[in-house]
Amino acid sequence: MNSLALIAFTVLAFTGSLATRMLTPALSFFLREGLRASFLGVSTLTAGYMLGRSLTAYFSGRVGRRWKHLPSLCLILNALLVLLYPLAGRWYEVTGLSFLQGALMGLTWPFIQYLVMASAGEGRTGRAISIYFFVGSIAGPAGDAVYGALFSASPVTSVVMASLSLYALSSLLAYLGSLEVRVKESGEEKVGDEGDVRWLLILGFGMGGMASVVGSSIIYVLLREWFSLGKGTVALLLSLVGGLSVGSKLISGYALDEVGAGMTLKSLTALLVIGTLLSGVRSLPLFLAGLAIISVVVGAFIPVSRALAYAFPDPASAVGRLNSLGNIGTVIGLLMIGAGMDFLPSLGLEWTPLIVLLGPFTLMAIVSTLGLLVNLK
C-alpha cells in the first residue's frame, strides 16, 4: 500500500470536486436569470459537461498508462478554462465551455480512480476507493453550502476565482500522487468474466440516468420554481440532501467486502425504487426524501461498481468504460428532464413529472442488477 499516494488522491477528490460543485449553482442561476435560458437550456450545462466526460473517459486508462501525469495536466487546463465563463454572452457558449471542462475531467477522474486502487494493494481496493469517494462526496454539500453562504449574492466571477484556485491545487496533488504509483501494463491484472462486465456497464448507464437529477444544474432551478424558494435556500437544502448521502460511499465499499456484491446490489436496487416513487410526490418534504434516497443509491453504487470493474482484465480500461457509459446515461437523463419539464407542466399535473422521466432508468437498473446477480452466482 502506498500511503502517500492515497493521501494525495483522497485530498484531490475533495478539492477537485469542490472546484466543480461550487460553480454548478452559480452557473445554473446565471443561465436561467442572467441569460434567460429555458429549462432545456439550463439542463445543457450539466449535459454538456457529462457529454464531454463520456467522450473522453473511455480513453483515460489507455492514455494514462502511457503518461501517468495526464490528470495533473487536465486539472491545470481546467483552472484556465473556467476564466472564460464570465465572458459568455449566450447559453450555448456556457454549455460549450462546460463540454470542454467535461472532456478534460473525463480524462482525469477515471484514471485517478484506477491509481487509487493500484495504490491500495491487493485486498484493500474496496475500502480504498470507498474512502476516496466518501471524501469526494463531501464536496457536493460543501460546494452548495459555500455557495449559499458566501456567493449567492455575488457575481459569477467571484465563484470562478475560487474554483480556479482549487483546480490549481488539485493539479499539484495529482502530480505528487502520480510520482508514487507504478502503473501496471495491460495483462498483468486479474481475469474476470466478460458477461459480468457487460451487465455492470448497463447498470452503470442506468445509474448514470438516475444521477441526472442529483447535483445537476437543473435541480436547482426545479426546486426554486416548483416550491418558490430563494437561491440560497435551494443551495442549502441540496447541501443537506447531499450530506445525508455522503456516508453511503463509505459504507458501500465496506458492505461489498463484508457481505458481498449480491446483497449490496439487491439493497441498492430496492432503495432506488422507493426513491423514484417519492420523487413523483409534489410535497417538498417527500420530494426531498426521494431525492436523498436516490442520492444515497447513486453515491453508494459508484465505489461498488469501480471495485467490481477493477477485477476485470485491463481494469484501467474497464473503469474508463464504466465512467463513459454512466456519463452518457446522465446526459440522456438531463435532456429528457429538461425537455419534459418544458412540456409536461402545461398539462396541469398535480405531481412532479420526475417519476415518469426517471422510471425507465430505474427499470434498466432493476433488469441489469438481476442479470449481474445471475452471473455473480
Domain 3-376: give its CATH code: 1.20.1250.20
How far, in Å, CA of 119 to CA of 292, rounded? 32
Three-class DSSP category at 183: coil
Cell of 63: 492514455
Q: Residue 15 in contact with residue 168, Cβ under 8 Å?
A: no
**109 Cβ neighbours under 8 A, 6+ residues apart:** 16, 53, 57, 60, 71, 323
Cell numbers standing for residue 322: 464504466
Query: What region, left, alpha or beta, does residue 36 occupy, with left being phi > 0 and alpha being psi -120 to 50 degrees?
Result: left
* Sign of torsion over alpha carbons 221, 225, 227, 231: positive
Which amino acid, residue 375?
A: N
149-161: pLDDT as tens digits: 888 778 888 999 9
Q: Is the pLDDT of residue 163 over 80?
A: yes
Lowest mean pLDDT among 157-171, 185-199, 247-261, 295-309: 185-199
pLDDT tens per residue across span 85-127: 999 888 889 999 999 999 999 999 988 988 888 887 766 777 7
How far is the C-alpha of 133 from the C-alpha of 137, rounded, in Å?
Answer: 6
Distance from C-alpha of 280 to C-alpha of 354, rounded to nearest angstrom: 6
- In 3D space, the residue among 12, 110, 73, 121 whose CA is nearest the CA of residue 315 turns out to be 110
Residues 322 and 304: their CA atoms lie apart, in Å, by 12
Residue 352 has pLDDT above 90, yes or no: no
- Which of 99-113, 168-182, 233-247 is predicted least confidently? 233-247
Distance CA 139, CA 143 (A): 6
Identify the residue with better confidence: 126 or 5. 5
**Helix residue ranges, H only, 212-230:** 217-226
Could you state, in order of their start, the residue ranges of all structural domains in the chain? Answer: 3-376
For the cut 60, the answer to whether the pLDDT of residue 60 exceeds it is yes
DSSP-derived secondary structure for 187-216? TSS----HHHHHHHHHHHHHHHHHHTTSS-
Contact 237, 25 (CB under 8 A): no
pTM: 0.72
Angle 315-343/194-211 helices, nearest 10 degrees? Answer: 30
Q: Is the pLDDT of residue 266 over 50?
A: yes
Helix axes 354-376, 315-343, angle to 10 degrees: 160
Q: Are 304 and 264 in contact (CB under 8 A)?
A: yes
Task: Please name which of 94, 86, 88, 91 lies closest in space to residue 35, comparing C-alpha atoms.
Answer: 91
Please say if the pLDDT value at position 374 is more than 90: no
Q: In sequence order, what DSSP letters do the residues of 247-299 get, joined into one string?
A: HHHHHHHHHHHHH-HHHHHHHHHHHHHHHHHHTT---HHHHHHHHHHHHHHHH
Distance CA 76, CA 321 (A): 24
Q: pLDDT band for position 373 (50/70/90)? A: confident
3-state secondary structure of 38: coil
CA–CA distance, 17 with 335 (Å, rounded to integer): 23
pLDDT confidence bin for 191, thresholds 50/70/90:
very low
Cα–Cα distance measured from residue 147 to residue 274, given in angstroms and rounded to the nearest whole number = 30
| Residue-wise DSSP of 82-112 | GGGGGG--SHHHHHHHHHHHHHHHHHHHHHH
User: For a pLDDT cut of 90, what percent of the chain falls above it?
Assistant: 22
